[in-house]
Amino acid sequence: MEELTDYKEHVDKAVDWIWNALPNLLWAIIILVLGIYAIKIINRMLRKFFEKKDYDQALESFIESFANITLKILLFVLVITQLGVKTTSLVAILGAAGLAIGLALQGSLANFAGGVLILLFKPFKIGDWISAQGVDGAVKEITIFTTKLNTFGNQVAIIPNGQLSNNNIINYSAENKRRDKIDVGIGYGSNIKEAKDILLAICQGNDNILKEPQPEVYVGELGDSSVNLTLRFWANNDVFWGAHFYVMEEIKERFDAAGIEIPFPQRVVHGTHS
């Protein structure tokens, strides 16, 4: 009989606790649902705001990502507080959790700091063609932790911001024009002056190649089997590769027409007679 009485007391206490906690639980659910809906509206408004302004795209992407995460953290705090967790206890819990998470996610914090540095110093922007961490591509998006590149083959490469901010980056789009350098070998029996004139004529005949600074050709090396000429010319970024491939094809065709030999590796096999 005494055990039945104790069981009834436990049940009564549980029912009382649920009854007392039910309003807070319902309010917490309402806050959670309304908060998620409000965050979606704020994110949408923020996106529309940036669409009307002419801010840097990297900054816009970073702010949108940061605002989304911050709002979700605030919503979590509001829901937990509504459930009855005291603010002081919550601060202590968040502090301890923050320390543990910080130690476990040192790389993520470094990536966040790297994202801030990228936005402050702007080594590149959305649309720039860069080379970093062994990857070449156009900058597609900069978030708080990573940067996305569209490679030449239209793959998406995701690079942590921490690595980007602490390593070498080549930004091919930083300047309006680029200089190309093409090395081509000719036979020792070929006429060097004629070959140089042909290379300069190729550059003069293409509108994508800038005439100032002037293209130049010089003997770069006297190799084992060839005289190596170096052609240098400038072209605007948007037509750089078109100019490069044009010159490569024209060199072969015009050298063949002029009888100028372009040496290639040859292997001579000596046989033995028994």
The tokens describing 89, both together, are 């206890």
- Segment 24-32 long-range contacts (CB within 8 Å, at least 24 positions apart): 24/82, 24/83, 24/84, 25/83, 27/82, 28/79, 28/82, 28/83, 31/75, 31/78, 31/79, 31/82, 32/75, 32/79
- From its phi and psi, is residue 154 left (phi > 0), alpha (psi between -120 and 50) or beta? left
Number of structural domains, the chain? 3
| 262 within 8 A of 183, measured Cβ to Cβ | no
Q: Are residues 75 and 129 in the same domain?
A: no
| 160 within 8 A of 112, measured Cβ to Cβ | no
CA 240, CA 243: separation in Å to the nearest integer?
5
274 residues of the chain, pLDDT tens digit each: 555 555 566 666 666 666 666 777 788 888 888 888 888 888 888 888 877 776 667 667 777 777 888 888 888 878 877 776 665 655 666 666 665 555 445 567 788 888 888 888 888 888 899 999 889 999 998 887 889 999 988 999 999 988 888 888 999 988 999 999 999 999 999 999 999 999 999 999 999 999 999 999 999 999 888 999 999 999 999 899 999 999 999 999 999 999 999 887 655 455 555 4
Residue 123 within a domain: yes
Q: Which domain holds residue 185?
A: 177-258
Match 């003997």 to its residue by tokens. Answer: 219
Q: Residue 156: beta bridge partners?
A: 150
Global pTM value = 0.58
Q: Which one of 84, 104, 124 terminates a domain?
A: 104
Q: Which one of 104, 123, 155 terminates a domain?
A: 104
Q: Are residues 154 and 189 in the same domain?
A: no
The CATH code of the domain that includes 129 is 2.30.30.60
3-state secondary structure of 23: helix
